[in-house]
Structure 1
């Protein structure tokens, strides 16, 4: 499958993030379109269609948020949990261009539904946690908000409004077909003090600059985001071509980044007391560990 057959040479197509800024509007944004990398992640589990779509949306949101981090070694973790939903755990993370994700769900309850379930049906009265681990400083920032709206994108917009006080618009599109799944996303934010990273003391969700940017950004169509032929640069240009200046910066490629290795699990097991490790062993004297992200089974002798 040639994923980028229709993308002009030198422009951004699949499995890369495009960053952009609108200097005169004090706005920044990200656009991403996942293709082969998404198929690789989804292939680790035989997820039902509804769960595949939910995970695809979550991975796009994770990339959009994670790509805002600038420090090497930083990580963004997106986690949704629920006590009463069909899905009780969804977790994705982004670090240095590597992404991974996993969904734990009640297959019997999901199969009993006749139609494609809504976010509320899947996650019930759950919550969304967004965690930023800053590589250089070792600092961790976490915001927790209720799951609201009909999409994960709306819940993330709510997170930025409540926890970060940053006006944010997010749009997601998922398209499945015989040649694979495409999931794409668009994010734009207003930084009203003009300088990225400055303390935002006077955030206004009704700021004229933000209303203008949000109106233009909100017009992006699902078929544009999930197109096989339209570059990410072309999407940004279609939305903001009347602006005085648009700056774009293509990012490096994205890849599945499951970090499961035998050495990693040995390190974790070494932290347990000897009597606890003995209890973990099977009849062959090995400890079996199944990676939830990629479904690899490790049988470790300790």
Structure 2
């Protein structure tokens, strides 16, 4: 059994002289809780595990703690029809909708294109305090989800980035996922295409080469402090600053109060159409696979 404080948290760091910043994440019990809601086949489990690690990396950058970050990948042709994950105040959730028959015809280790076909990746940041909403949508490209994320940053954010994602099972069969996001944030680039920083600032290539040496085992070893991983990668740099991180939990907002609030917005006639012959509306949560029966009488009483 894996224990310790190196699971279900993120860690930020900055390499000041090289104008680079990074973030590490390692998921354990939280990941198992999310996966246990569905009997996913191994290929889908790996996809969701890595997607949740990526979501935690991106969500932990939110300055507004009450804000939300959503990652969505969708296609019209591949076995995977929809992948959705989100992060809010340290809470993670996610699920995958897929065609089991199409998946069964796939090889044991399919590429991202084989799983999605022609699809897109959408990343959305909702800031609760300022009410601002930012969404970037790019074609789902690359051999892996990590490569697709790098393509997103290059096309949508114009920020040179390195993304690494990994997952494995421990001796007890529990799933562990880890990830690293490394980015170049040069000074004096306002008003210019950030992709030019690859030429203007060769230190990015230096940081990128060092970051690329990280091993899957380092990302997913629950006994290895993430601070040690940062030191291994960048100990020769003049100054590396650890920025702290977030503790992660499993979160789902499908409580009865929330569901009652949503259903109560519908007119009584539409509520009646949703109900079965016994006067019950059944709301199924795709994230946690729990069905919530709501009686029409309960809705009327809450109105």
Name the TM-score, length of structure 1 as normaliser: 0.93
The residue correspondences of 1:1-302 to structure 2 (distance < 5 A) are: 1-4=1-4, 13-179=6-172, 180-193=174-187, 199=190, 201-203=192-194, 204-206=197-199, 207-302=201-296
> 2 CA distance for matches of 1:152 and 1:76?
17
**After superposition, what is the alpha-carbon deviation per residue over 1:223-276, rounded to whole angstroms, capped at 9, x for unaligned?**
111113211101100000001111113323100011111111111112222211
Contact persistence 1:165–1:200 (CA under 8 A): no
Contact persistence 2:79–2:98 (CA under 8 A): yes
Contact persistence 1:82–1:126 (CA under 8 A): yes
Contact persistence 2:118–2:140 (CA under 8 A): yes
> 1 CA distance for matches of 2:274 and 2:96?
25
Contact persistence 1:16–1:250 (CA under 8 A): no
Q: Secondary structure at the match of 2:165?
A: strand
| Residue equivalent to 2:300 | none
> 2 CA distance for matches of 1:202 and 1:13?
37
Structure 1, unaligned runs of 5 or more: 5-11
Contact persistence 2:76–2:119 (CA under 8 A): yes
> 2 CA distance for matches of 1:135 and 1:242?
40
Instruction: Report the CA distance between 1:299 and its aligned residue.
Output: 0.2
**After superposition, what is the alpha-carbon deviation per residue over 1:164-202, rounded to whole angstroms, capped at 9, x for unaligned?**
1111110011112442011000111111127xxx84625
Change (3 A) 1:107 1:89: same
> 2 CA distance for matches of 1:114 and 1:193?
46
Change (3 A) 1:114 1:161: closer
Q: Secondary structure at the match of 1:252?
A: coil
Select the structure that is richer in helix: 2
Structure 2, unaligned runs of 5 or more: 297-303
Contact persistence 1:58–1:152 (CA under 8 A): yes
Change (3 A) 1:18 1:293: same
> 1 CA distance for matches of 2:220 and 2:15?
23
> 1 CA distance for matches of 2:203 and 2:286?
44
Name the TM-score, length of structure 2 as normaliser: 0.93
Q: How many residues align?
A: 292
> 2 CA distance for matches of 1:114 and 1:165?
34
**After superposition, what is the alpha-carbon deviation per residue over 1:31-67, rounded to whole angstroms, capped at 9, x for unaligned?**
0110111001000000011000000010001011111
Indicate the RMSD between aligned Cα atoms, in angstroms: 1.4
> 1 CA distance for matches of 2:72 and 2:2?
33
Change (3 A) 1:184 1:200: farther
